[in-house]
Amino acid sequence: MNLFTRDVPPRSAWALEQAGIHPLLARLYAARGVLSKDELDDALNLLLPPASMLGTHEAAKMLADAIAQNKRLCIVADYDCDGATACAVGVRGLRMLGAQNVSYLVPDRVVDGYGLTPPIAERVHAQGADVLITVDNGIASVAGVQAAQSLGLQVLVTDHHLPGSELPTAEVIVNPNQPGCSFTSKSIAGVGVMFYVLLALRAELRQRGVFDATEPAPGRPKLASTPSGGSEPHEVGSVGARPQPRLDALLPLVALGTVADVVKLDANNRRLVAQGLRRVRAGALPPGMSALMRAASRETAKATTFDFGFALGPRINAAGRLADMTLGIECLLTDDAGRADELAKQLDAINRERRVIEGDMREMAMEMAESLFDEGDEPPPAICVFDPDFHEGVVGIVASRIKDKLHRPTFVFAASSAPGKEHELKGSGRSIAGFHLRDALDLVAKRAPGVLLRFGGHAMAAGCTIAEEHLDVFEETLNQVAMEWLDASTLQRRLETDGPLPAEYRRVDLVEMLHHEVWGQGFAPPVFCEEIEIVSQRLVGEKHLSLKMKHQGQPVDGIWFGRTEPLPARVKLAYRLDADEWQGQKRVRFLVEGAEI
């Protein structure tokens, strides 16, 4: 592994420090491209305007008409955490804005596959819906949208995935990645898109005189404005209208889905996440999120993006992987604390089962991947593995683990367990920087016509369905694309770091300060790097390396999760900061991320 130190523009770091930012944060922010303190302002009124997202105005009019006519609305969700939170935001938000008949339906990963399909459209129609709303899916559902419309349903597609060559014929499409959309935050999650639709709908209802922009009635909980004085945008309301609902109550869900979907945390997404975290820490979060925090032994008052990404997100995702995502959505929808606790415990148990299945599968898949090349040789440019016993619900996680270890674009396939489709394989892929996975699948489809039955996704994660007999052709074609697109430098594992940690910053209070900030995809959490003296080392739990070290001459503990090989006496390590508690005392601990050996 090659460890590289990010460049820190001195003028930017100095300007941030002069503006009152802590020197350590100033250095970290400058290295991530922040030029001024204004970019760190997370006030709600600095969010990109809903009108700049193509389709929000038309969607608002369509939904406002549907609410006025008391039409029955049905949300079709996806079965991951982004889809679940988008569904919960949609149901809660539409009800807050006056919709009397809102239901939802989430496809079964095994039986239905991904997205709005014709059978899903038929089920929505059979439930008596008038309007079908997709969240976190639909941009590729050409046949499903046609089927819904043929049954007399109006269709609103809200999605964030990249469109294919043909757009569905929905009445309205809201997707920042559709042609002609000028919304600059192209990486917004599906839950964020739905939140923006609700903001546009509320504005439309204000214009129609249903709401005015006054504050909620006395007695309702109200959070303090942001430190910068920011608040939700206000407009002059009409006489006799009701106070508008506070849609900021939905921001904890928006933040959770945004982090869990690992989308790039650009300035707009960081504001959404920061605002959601602020409300979670103040205790203003749905009972289901609170129950999930307890199930994961996390404190809401100290919630971080790590809690969203590694505690809550996996528990919700587990329902979609092994059971029914309805459990996850119901947990996020209920306002009954007792029911929330019950559902959170069920999700926690499912997640424990997922870990066992994943562990067994990961070990087998890793052996298969490593058998593709001889010891001492480089892995092939892309990895594809399949076994009939693999569980299709966890292929994505296993692909991610292989990608992390071998640093290659990776697809893991499992046999479909859907009735009548036993000959099909469902694959989930994860990629490395410099290899756009969905574009690669598109090229595979062009070079090997008929091999890909279905595919879709993003740059770093994608999925596809193939016939089992075409696995070898898929693997060969993907490897050819990878060989053409990837060069030696891209295939070299590279970890960007923030350089040495000054000894005076090795303090618990600064660790907590760093944890309080918003970090994630595209705005990486701090990773420091320097030569460390290894005093002693031992294995714990048979698969983790526990370390006693000296950092700039001072003792510090560390741990390298998943590492079993011993380290030399002096080694250049990349590490994150953590604080653990022992006998009532908090101490700084290094979480090792990599080594240059």
**The Cα angle at residue 264 between residues 269 and 359, in degrees rounded to 5:** 120
As a whole number, mean pLDDT of residues 414-436 equals: 92
CA distance 530 to 5: 10
HSE value, Cβ hemisphere, 13 Å, CA-based, for 45: 11
The sign one gets for the Cα dihedral 452, 456, 459, 461 is negative
Q: Could you tell me the pLDDT band of residue 240, with boundaries at 50, 70 and 90? A: low
- Residue 181 is predicted with a pLDDT of 98
Helix (H, G, I), strand (E, B) or coil at 206: helix
> E-strand spans in 66-225?
73-76, 102-105, 131-135, 154-158, 172-174, 211-212
* Nearest alpha carbon to residue 449 among 429, 427, 477: 477
CA 155 to chain centre: 25
Q: Is the pLDDT reported for residue 220 higher than 70?
A: no
Helix (H, G, I), strand (E, B) or coil at 426: strand
Query: Per residue in 325-343, is it b (16+ CB within 10 Å) or e — as a string?
Result: bbbbbbbbbbeeeebbbeb
CA distances from 490 to 3, 404, 434, 435, 482 (A): 14, 14, 7, 9, 11
CA distance 433 to 537: 33
Q: Specify whether the backbone of 166 is left (phi greater than 0), alpha (psi in -120 to 50) or beta.
A: beta
Over its C-alpha atoms, the chain yields an Rg (Å, rounded) of: 25
How far apart are the two ends of the chain, measured CA to CA in Å? 8
pLDDT tens, residue by residue, 30-71: 999 999 999 999 999 999 999 999 999 999 999 999 999 999
CA distances from 210 to 67, 96, 98, 217, 535 (A): 11, 12, 9, 16, 69
Structure tokens at 555: 């003792």
Q: Could you tell me the pLDDT band of residue 235, with boundaries at 50, 70 and 90? A: very low
**The Cα angle at residue 571 between residues 565 and 2, in degrees rounded to 5:** 85
Mean pLDDT of the chain: 93
The residues with which 576 forms a beta bridge, in sequence order, are 591
As a whole number, mean pLDDT of residues 418-426 equals: 89
Q: Could you tell me the pLDDT band of residue 96, with boundaries at 50, 70 and 90? A: very high
CA distance 154 to 382: 42
pLDDT tens, residue by residue, 520-541: 999 999 999 999 999 999 999 8
The more confidently predicted of residues 580 and 53 is: 53
Cβ-Cβ contacts under 8 Å for 594 (sequence gap 6 or more): 1, 3, 495, 573, 574
**Helix 508-516 × helix 23-31 angle, to 10°:** 40
As a whole number, mean pLDDT of residues 489-494 equals: 89
Cβ-Cβ contacts under 8 Å for 372 (sequence gap 6 or more): 379, 380, 383
* Nearest alpha carbon to residue 325 among 312, 316, 336: 316
Structure tokens at 233: 């945008």
Cβ-Cβ contacts under 8 Å for 377 (sequence gap 6 or more): none
**Helix 337-370 × helix 326-333 angle, to 10°:** 140
As a whole number, mean pLDDT of residues 479-496 equals: 93
**The Cα angle at residue 182 between residues 179 and 183, in degrees rounded to 5:** 110
Q: How many C-beta atoms surround the C-beta of residue 117 within 10 A? A: 18
CA distance 449 to 17: 56
Q: What are phi and psi of 586, to 5 degrees?
A: -90, 140
The sign one gets for the Cα dihedral 479, 483, 484, 489 is positive
* Nearest alpha carbon to residue 155 among 183, 182, 124, 178: 124
- Residue 465 is predicted with a pLDDT of 95
* Nearest alpha carbon to residue 412 among 357, 361, 460: 361
Q: Is the pLDDT reported for residue 230 higher than 90?
A: no
HSE value, Cβ hemisphere, 13 Å, CA-based, for 329: 28
As a whole number, mean pLDDT of residues 298-306 equals: 96
As a whole number, mean pLDDT of residues 468-488 equals: 96
The residues with which 424 forms a beta bridge, in sequence order, are 467
Q: Is 481 within 8 Å of 509 (Cβ atoms)?
A: no
pLDDT tens, residue by residue, 15-29: 999 999 999 999 999
Quote the DSSP letter at residue 376: T
Domains delineated in the chain: 44-211+245-348 (3.90.1640.30), 372-491 (3.10.310.30), 495-596 (2.40.50.460)
HSE value, Cβ hemisphere, 13 Å, CA-based, for 379: 24
* Nearest alpha carbon to residue 244 among 266, 211, 220: 211
* Nearest alpha carbon to residue 109 among 426, 458, 460, 455: 426
Structure tokens at 592: 């090792």
Q: Specify whether the backbone of 541 is left (phi greater than 0), alpha (psi in -120 to 50) or beta.
A: left
Q: Is the pLDDT reported for residue 262 higher than 60?
A: yes
Structure tokens at 569: 């006496």
- Contacts of residues 355-359 at CB distance under 8 Å and 24 or more positions apart, as own/partner, are 357/322, 357/391, 357/393, 357/394, 358/394, 358/397, 358/398
Q: Is the pLDDT reported for residue 227 higher than 60?
A: no
Percent of the chain with pLDDT over 90: 86
Helix (H, G, I), strand (E, B) or coil at 330: helix
Q: Could you tell me the pLDDT band of residue 215, with boundaries at 50, 70 and 90? A: low
